[in-house]
Chains A and B, each alone.
Chain A
Amino acid sequence: MLDALTLVTGVAALLLAAWCGWAAYRDQPTKDWHFIGMAVVSFLAVVQLVVGIVQLARGEQPEQGTAIFVAYLIGAFACVPAAGFMSLTERTRWGSVTVAAGGVVLAVLEVRLYDIWGG
């Protein structure tokens, strides 16, 4: 369950990065549609956070330690919303670049989460 979710979230994060990178390439700030995309990716991260905590509560152990696992879950959850708020204050192409970078960072976090859980 967690592995599938990690994969989906990572791919969605990369798609978001590509989309916002495209907007930046066309010299555009993030728009409503981009924020809907960010909301979708953030929602996936929330689901992942909940599923991860539930699995911990059921007594399953991440391979590399619970503390690191939870820290990465929280980081993954906060990543895209933080970049989104920054793009709200920077209404130029650079706001879009920031969200694109946020998507890439989230994808990296997903790979790490997969390793930490022991996939």
Chain B
Amino acid sequence: MTTVEENLDGDVAGRPARLVSGPGMLLVWFYGVMVVGAVSRSVYQIATEFDRAPLAYSLSALAGLVYGFITYSLVRGGERARKAAQVCCAAELAGVLIVGTWTLVEPSAFPDATVWSDYGMGYVFIPVLLPISALYWLRKNRAVKP
């Protein structure tokens, strides 16, 4: 990594700030699990029965992409990745709240469940708990302004 990139990453010590130390490792694990869960589920459903619930399956695929990007950002580390992950976690939280409410108000729009249905109840509410804890963790790890 060049010096310019280090500066862009806003890191003091010369290396990008690690986001996967301590509790961050647990976050990466859960995000990894959600990536596998959401991506494999949506790939299978889109490949075999897309016409049954196109909206639900597309949303699951989108959720999988967001999870993938957050996992990558956490592992990569550095201030820029931290900010990007923060934006995605906020989007993820908004997504799970909107889709969760949507599935409760208008169940007919969803013939089949998405990852975010009923606020992620099918996944032990991990989809709604993860972004909250991740946002807290990312906020705690922001670079100290000089």
Contacts and interface: CB of A to CB of B under 8 A. Distances in A.
Interface of A: 67-68, 71, 75, 82-83, 86-87, 89-90, 92, 94-95, 97-98, 101-102, 105, 108
Contact of A94 (B23, B40, B44, B48): B23
Contacts of A68: 44
B21 A90 contact: yes
Contacts of A71: 40, 44
Interface residues of B, number: 17
Given A67-B44, A68-B44, A71-B44, A86 B29 contact: yes
B33 A90 contact: no
B20 interface: yes
Interface string B6-45: 0000000000000011111110111011001000100010
B75 to A, nearest CB: 11
B26 A75 contact: no
A83 B32 CA distance: 10
A94 B36 contact: no
Contacts of A94: 21-26
Contacts of A105: 33
A10 B25 CA distance: 24
Interface of B: 20-26, 28-30, 32-33, 36, 40, 44, 48, 124
Contacts of A82: 29, 32
Contacts of A97: 23, 26
Top-3 shortest CB links A-B: A90-B25, A94-B22, A98-B29
Contacts of B28: 86
A107 B28 CA distance: 19
Nearest to B43: A71
A41 B122 CA distance: 25
B44 A83 contact: no
B57 to A, nearest CB: 14
A90 B30 CA distance: 15
B70 to A, nearest CB: 16
